[in-house]
Structure 1
Amino acid sequence: MADTRAPDPRFRKQPNRQSRSCKVCRLRKVKCDRVKPCHACCAHGYPSKCVYENVPDEDAQPISQAEEIRNLRDEIRDLRARIDVRQDGSRAQDLQRLDQLESLFESIRSAPPRVVESLVKDIRTAHGGLKDELVPVGPWEGHDAYKNYGRQSRGSSVSTLVVRNRGSDVEEINFNDSVEYDEDDYEDEISVRSGSDSSSSGATSIMNMQRPVVDVFVERFVDAFAPEVDLKSGRAGALRAAAGIRMFSPLISDAYEAVSVAFFGRSVQNKQIEASGFRLYPRVLRGLQDALNDPERCKAESTLVTVILLLAFESVERTTQSGVSAHVRGAVRLIEHRGPENHMYGVEHLMFTELRPYWITLMIQIGGALAARKPSFLAEEEWKTIPWSAGTTTKDILHHLLDLAADIPGLLAQSDAFQEKQLESVMSTHEIAVKQSTLWNGITELTAKLRQWVIDWVECYPDGAPREVEQTEDQDFPIFQRRDLRTGAIFTPTKISYPNLLLAQTMCLYYSFRLILSSVDKRPVDRVTPMEQYDLGCGICRTLEWYILTAPGNMINRLAFPTRVAWEAFPDGGPERQFLVEVLQLVEKRHALGLWGSAMPELSVRENSPLNSDSP
């Protein structure tokens, strides 16, 4: 007989309810304010990791500053459109409403987290209506994180940052055993003046920018360095995603402002605007140095984003010959310090995976330029697997190539150590034979893997293989000419056309890796011959026109390293070098990239190569 007794209420199963705290706060056992991202996550530098589980009732849903900002943008846009066409009495009312919305947008966009938290909660409480007490802008004026900003808003005084620059030498990032950014080399004097009086003896030119203007600069920078492209062009959304969280981090906000203003000024050839961005640079360096010295903040995504932005700054301004290398060394050490598990989600995952070609190629380059080659931590299995283990993205043809290329620094280090021991004459004949055999076996194995990669991924590429196309003079692009190595005659070869940008970038990196590996390949058989090396360099040059004319924005930076490798594959004074000189000058002119105009000597892979050698 069935038991029909009512269940004991003491043992009644409670309905499943999701926690109202985000996962990070629940794990850390701290109070969560239910803002998305919450104050705690923002304060610790992990806004993109603030995740909430689905909650059935609407009242329990987390608040999203990003959502409110989008709503405010849309309403401001609609109001401006109505104001432009209206001439009746309601126009004044719309103007007042527009002033309120813009003030509120400024508050949410740039206020400290505690202010943003209160504003957004009040908006949600009002269900779309604005309360008068929310309108004033700048209740955080004087706050440490914003006291040096040059800001101007309705009804408030002007605060202007004035900086004199005297130099531009840069050091490496400092955390633990690395080196430091030294802002003393960037600034002679920093002074903040408030009020309408802008006179100052000896001060450099001053530019006051309202926040909406800076937003325009940031959007233009993001469009250039992180254009919206499909997966077949290669992922390019990391800097765009990072720009979306900059309102939660003063460090990221400062970095975006400095880089984007300088880039805009350079792109429109306005020295005053460019200098305004450059003057913000010392404060970004100080903020970054403080973050790197903090045991917890040094692993925050805001720190990683800022380091990447400074790399972009150097590609635009090229403040010194060692600037790019210094920032790269710091970025690579920062990534290693963070560990692979901190690159599985969000902006951090995008920053690591999208820029992985830079990390691997520049690990190769740094070793060559500094004669300090060593195996790369990126060759370890955990770095090839863990960042993708959450399924945030999947590996494509490029990343499968990079899995193999990560082993190249280790082989270069073996070769350097072997040659050094030979010169010192400290090895026996047996030791020489063993070390030489180990090196050759490593080169043989990696060469075989690269050839198999071509079979598995290039020859079976779903969108088709690269095509040979005749070069014509109707395109505004230099004509590449090469030599017939048997006769010495100069002729115009075909150029290479690709089904998409991803394959073009990948093939140029493949040519580069084969060239670099061949530089230490002394095997008696099956090694790359000088003629094959020349053809690999020509393969890069024959790709440049298609890629540079096809790639949107500054995605052409993805071919910076292959272009420099090709430069070093050719003799000075030949038609190949002349073609590359014209290409570099063209890119600098069209895209305002100072790095390309210098012929990128800091990307040299030659051991002990002086940074100024072979520059046009």
Structure 2
Amino acid sequence: MAGELCPSAPDSRVRKAPNRQSRSCKVCRSRKVKCDRVKPCNACCAHGYPSKCVYENIPDEEARPISQAEEIKNLRTEIRELRARIDERHRDQEEELERLDQLESLFESIRSAPQSVVDQLVREIRSAHGGLKKDLVKVGPWEGYEAYADYDYAGGSHQSLIPIRRRFGDSSPDLNFNDPLSDGDDEDGDMEMMSLSSGSDSGSSGTISIMSMQRPAVDIFVERFVDAFSPEVDIKSGRAGALRAAAEIRMFSPLISDAFEAVSVAFFGRSVRNKEIEASGFRLYPRVLRGLQDALIDPERSKSEATLVTVTLLLAFESVERTTQSGVPAHVRGAVRLIEHRGPENHMYGVEHLLFTELRPYWIGGALATRQPSFLAREEWKTIPWSAGTTTKDILHHLLDLATEVPGLLYQSDQFKEAKRSSVMGAQEVAVKQTSLWNAIADLTGRFYQWYHDWVECYPDGPPEEAEQTGAEGFPIFKRRDFRTGAVYDATKLVYPNLLLAQTMCVYYAVRLILSSIDTRPEDRVSVLEQYELGCGICRTYEFYILTAPGNMINRLAFPTRVAWEAFPDKGPERAFMTEVLSLVERRHSLGLWGSNMSEISTHKNSPLNNGS
């Protein structure tokens, strides 16, 4: 038939599929798993039958699997070449390593020698006359560079500007009050001392590239930092082991390890007034911030102890360097957001518990500075972290249970003042809200008085005692006013049975001062004279605390110090004394935060009163 196709005629629409080349071994293909095309492949070796690893239908050379023997031979060749390159680089760095050995010997002396020897070594480092400086290579600071880091603490954003620049002309930290050391004008002397060599081929900047290769040197820096910020003290001095416990787990977290290295190197450089070592810590700081940002945006890592430790270390870094005026409060706010994000159940054990409880005054101080209600006032945050018995509440924490309520009252007062100013409330509503605020202030003030009776007057080791100021170790003399005559005279100092009670009383004076700033009750309110006495209580505690506290525990009085500063009139003898104390602490403890009047932690900054209400 004409329309009938011939059976033998080929159909152009039907094509025979070509043979497909196998890219997997027979076993992997049957099990439908990925094959690495090595003979025998990893999957067959892992399952214990390498002899069954067979490749079929492999017509061309390119598709053939790689022999394991051939792959091993290639890897060995590559290893030999890499070793040769490393050996060549080591030969080029022999001089640098010799200098590092010399520096490590010096650090070991500082670490283990008696205090008198250490003081002498530090003097030699600062004066830098002869000796080591002839053999050491100078590494200049990171001038003109600014590192930016944006990071988000559990939904809240923060932008931090970290200017890396020369910042040494305005301060010269000392280790002792009356240490007759160089005055910081020797531009060449202490610059050249204690510098590590920079590796030109390492791909990283200056000192850190060498230090990263020599962990013992970094460990010494970390140990000095931990001794300063987490000294070993008895329980009557207040717990101070959080950062020491964190240092013990840094090997398990690159983020914690980098943070400890950056902070401790910068702190050591600042404490011996060596710009090159301090700049080395700065070089790591942006990398730590980037690592923190990556951790914070990860739902799981944001709740890890490594993230909380890193934020706390950055807070310590800012107290040392004060890179920006907003650095300390920004890190405090970030840490508080992170703590809330983690929940109270995640602060019952280990490092997390210590960081929450030991630094609880900082977290509450941050809420007081922002004048916003705090989650820390909720009952679960006053109970759950201690429910496992890891530590027990002491006199300070019982005071802080009350202090957590003050930020909410500050907010209530600010909102009330703002509403009155804008005339959005009627007379009756104003009266109701005013009465409610006064009642809350009266109730909390009464509970503060009760706390004082229960805990201070009945303190097992005895209450604070008064004594004459002697100006021991060159400590400045606090002069106060007589409100009746206007005369200025030497006040008595307060002596405490232990550091814990001294810190607690300063927090008590500070919180009472803050609460009194919104107390406008017509009766029973805190008078101006009482406010003055509360501020004087903080100043009268300085000599005991500063001369007794080990390491940098003085940072625990930073917030009370700023509160007391705001209680005194400008250009008076009280502020003149406080200025001397701030300078002394900055020099003795290498704390840049204390080199100013710490305006960034002011509780008045966010008040409507600053806007003329």
Please confirm whether the aligned pair reaches a TM-score higher than 0.5, indicating the same fold: yes
Structure 1 segment 36-51 matched on structure 2, within 5 A: none
In structure 2, C-alpha distance between the alignment counterparts of 1:359 and 1:387, rounded to whole Å: 14
Work out whether residues 172 and 327 of structure 1, in 8 Å CA contact, stay in contact via their aligned partners in 2: no
> Sequence identity, in percent?
70
The question of 1:356 aligning with 2:360 is answered: yes
Structure 1 residue 269: Cα displacement: 0.4
Structure 1 residue 204: Cα displacement: 6.9
In structure 2, C-alpha distance between the alignment counterparts of 1:450 and 1:468, rounded to whole Å: 22
Equivalent position of 1:323 in the other structure: 327
Work out whether residues 144 and 164 of structure 2, in 8 Å CA contact, stay in contact via their aligned partners in 1: yes
In structure 1, C-alpha distance between the alignment counterparts of 2:307 and 2:203, rounded to whole Å: 36
Tell me the SS of whatever aligns to 1:311: helix
Equivalent position of 1:304 in the other structure: 308
Equivalent position of 1:14 in the other structure: none
The question of 1:174 aligning with 2:178 is answered: no
Structure 1 segment 179-328 matched on structure 2, within 5 A: 179-181=157-159, 198=200, 208-209=210-211, 210-328=214-332
In structure 1, C-alpha distance between the alignment counterparts of 2:422 and 2:607, rounded to whole Å: 22
CA separation of 1:557 and 1:203: change in aligned 2, threshold 3 A:
closer
CA separation of 1:422 and 1:182: change in aligned 2, threshold 3 A:
closer
Tell me the SS of whatever aligns to 1:179: strand
One-letter code aligned to 1:363: A
In structure 2, C-alpha distance between the alignment counterparts of 1:523 and 1:465, rounded to whole Å: 30
Structure 1 segment 313-392 matched on structure 2, within 5 A: 313-365=317-369, 367=370, 373-392=371-390
Structure 1 residue 362: Cα displacement: 1.6
Work out whether residues 170 and 326 of structure 1, in 8 Å CA contact, stay in contact via their aligned partners in 2: no
CA shift digits 1:48-73 (9 cap, x unpaired)? xxxxxxxxxxxxxxxxxxxxxxxxxx
Tell me the SS of whatever aligns to 2:157: coil
In structure 2, C-alpha distance between the alignment counterparts of 1:231 and 1:329, rounded to whole Å: 28
Tell me the SS of whatever aligns to 2:466: strand
CA separation of 1:548 and 1:183: change in aligned 2, threshold 3 A:
closer
Equivalent position of 1:603 in the other structure: 601
Tell me the SS of whatever aligns to 2:600: helix
* Bigger Rg, which one: 2
Structure 2: where are the runs of 5+ without partners?
Answer: 1-81, 87-95, 99-138, 166-196, 609-613
Structure 1 residue 216: Cα displacement: 0.2
Equivalent position of 1:509 in the other structure: 507
Tell me the SS of whatever aligns to 2:156: coil
In structure 1, C-alpha distance between the alignment counterparts of 2:440 and 2:198, rounded to whole Å: 68
The question of 1:527 aligning with 2:545 is answered: no
Structure 1 residue 325: Cα displacement: 1.2
Structure 1 segment 577-616 matched on structure 2, within 5 A: 577-608=575-606
CA separation of 1:387 and 1:474: change in aligned 2, threshold 3 A:
closer
Higher relative contact order (CA 8 A, sep 6+): 2
Equivalent position of 1:32 in the other structure: none
Equivalent position of 1:433 in the other structure: 431
Structure 1 residue 162: Cα displacement: 11
Work out whether residues 165 and 279 of structure 1, in 8 Å CA contact, stay in contact via their aligned partners in 2: no
In structure 1, C-alpha distance between the alignment counterparts of 2:162 and 2:233, rounded to whole Å: 40
Work out whether residues 207 and 276 of structure 1, in 8 Å CA contact, stay in contact via their aligned partners in 2: no
CA separation of 1:493 and 1:303: change in aligned 2, threshold 3 A:
same
CA separation of 1:444 and 1:197: change in aligned 2, threshold 3 A:
closer
Structure 1 residue 374: Cα displacement: 2.1
In structure 2, C-alpha distance between the alignment counterparts of 1:497 and 1:182, rounded to whole Å: 40
Structure 1 residue 474: Cα displacement: 3.9
CA separation of 1:478 and 1:203: change in aligned 2, threshold 3 A:
same
Equivalent position of 1:400 in the other structure: 398
Structure 1 residue 601: Cα displacement: 1.1
In structure 2, C-alpha distance between the alignment counterparts of 1:231 and 1:542, rounded to whole Å: 23
In structure 1, C-alpha distance between the alignment counterparts of 2:277 and 2:209, rounded to whole Å: 7
In structure 2, C-alpha distance between the alignment counterparts of 1:197 and 1:238, rounded to whole Å: 35
Work out whether residues 325 and 602 of structure 1, in 8 Å CA contact, stay in contact via their aligned partners in 2: yes
One-letter code aligned to 2:301: R
In structure 1, C-alpha distance between the alignment counterparts of 2:209 and 2:271, rounded to whole Å: 17
Structure 1 segment 88-99 matched on structure 2, within 5 A: none
Tell me the SS of whatever aligns to 2:372: coil
Work out whether residues 168 and 320 of structure 1, in 8 Å CA contact, stay in contact via their aligned partners in 2: no
Point out the more displaced range, 298-307 or 320-329: 320-329
Work out whether residues 342 and 348 of structure 1, in 8 Å CA contact, stay in contact via their aligned partners in 2: yes
In structure 2, C-alpha distance between the alignment counterparts of 1:328 and 1:275, rounded to whole Å: 24
Work out whether residues 565 and 578 of structure 2, in 8 Å CA contact, stay in contact via their aligned partners in 1: yes
The question of 1:479 aligning with 2:477 is answered: yes
CA separation of 1:186 and 1:492: change in aligned 2, threshold 3 A:
closer
In structure 2, C-alpha distance between the alignment counterparts of 1:291 and 1:449, rounded to whole Å: 41
Work out whether residues 149 and 290 of structure 2, in 8 Å CA contact, stay in contact via their aligned partners in 1: no
Tell me the SS of whatever aligns to 2:494: strand
In structure 2, C-alpha distance between the alignment counterparts of 1:274 and 1:445, rounded to whole Å: 50
Work out whether residues 169 and 320 of structure 1, in 8 Å CA contact, stay in contact via their aligned partners in 2: no
Work out whether residues 482 and 488 of structure 2, in 8 Å CA contact, stay in contact via their aligned partners in 1: yes
Structure 1 residue 419: Cα displacement: 0.3
Structure 1 residue 169: Cα displacement: 7.3
CA separation of 1:201 and 1:171: change in aligned 2, threshold 3 A:
closer
Work out whether residues 172 and 330 of structure 1, in 8 Å CA contact, stay in contact via their aligned partners in 2: no
Structure 1 residue 588: Cα displacement: 0.5
TM-score (norm 1): 0.69
Structure 1 residue 198: Cα displacement: 1.8
CA separation of 1:493 and 1:376: change in aligned 2, threshold 3 A:
same
One-letter code aligned to 2:274: N
Tell me the SS of whatever aligns to 2:540: helix
Structure 1: where are the runs of 5+ without partners?
Answer: 1-137, 143-151, 155-160, 188-194, 368-372, 611-616
Work out whether residues 233 and 239 of structure 2, in 8 Å CA contact, stay in contact via their aligned partners in 1: yes
Work out whether residues 198 and 205 of structure 2, in 8 Å CA contact, stay in contact via their aligned partners in 1: no
Provide runs of 4+ in structure 1 moved above 3 Å: 161-173, 180-187, 199-207, 607-610
Work out whether residues 262 and 278 of structure 1, in 8 Å CA contact, stay in contact via their aligned partners in 2: yes
Structure 1 residue 607: Cα displacement: 3.4
Work out whether residues 308 and 338 of structure 2, in 8 Å CA contact, stay in contact via their aligned partners in 1: yes
Tell me the SS of whatever aligns to 2:255: helix
Structure 1 residue 469: Cα displacement: 0.4
Point out the more displaced range, 323-332 or 197-206: 197-206
Tell me the SS of whatever aligns to 2:541: helix
One-letter code aligned to 2:297: N
Work out whether residues 172 and 181 of structure 1, in 8 Å CA contact, stay in contact via their aligned partners in 2: yes
In structure 1, C-alpha distance between the alignment counterparts of 2:458 and 2:351, rounded to whole Å: 32
In structure 2, C-alpha distance between the alignment counterparts of 1:511 and 1:492, rounded to whole Å: 20
CA separation of 1:236 and 1:586: change in aligned 2, threshold 3 A:
same
In structure 2, C-alpha distance between the alignment counterparts of 1:202 and 1:260, rounded to whole Å: 19
In structure 1, C-alpha distance between the alignment counterparts of 2:240 and 2:231, rounded to whole Å: 6
CA separation of 1:468 and 1:163: change in aligned 2, threshold 3 A:
closer
Structure 1 residue 182: Cα displacement: 5.5
CA separation of 1:388 and 1:172: change in aligned 2, threshold 3 A:
farther
Work out whether residues 471 and 479 of structure 1, in 8 Å CA contact, stay in contact via their aligned partners in 2: yes
Point out the more displaced range, 234-243 or 470-479: 470-479
TM-score (norm 2): 0.69
One-letter code aligned to 2:454: D
CA separation of 1:432 and 1:230: change in aligned 2, threshold 3 A:
same
CA separation of 1:286 and 1:457: change in aligned 2, threshold 3 A:
same
Tell me the SS of whatever aligns to 1:553: coil
In structure 1, C-alpha distance between the alignment counterparts of 2:578 and 2:398, rounded to whole Å: 29
Equivalent position of 2:72 in the other structure: none
One-letter code aligned to 2:281: G
CA separation of 1:175 and 1:202: change in aligned 2, threshold 3 A:
closer
CA separation of 1:527 and 1:272: change in aligned 2, threshold 3 A:
same
CA RMSD of aligned residues (A): 2.8
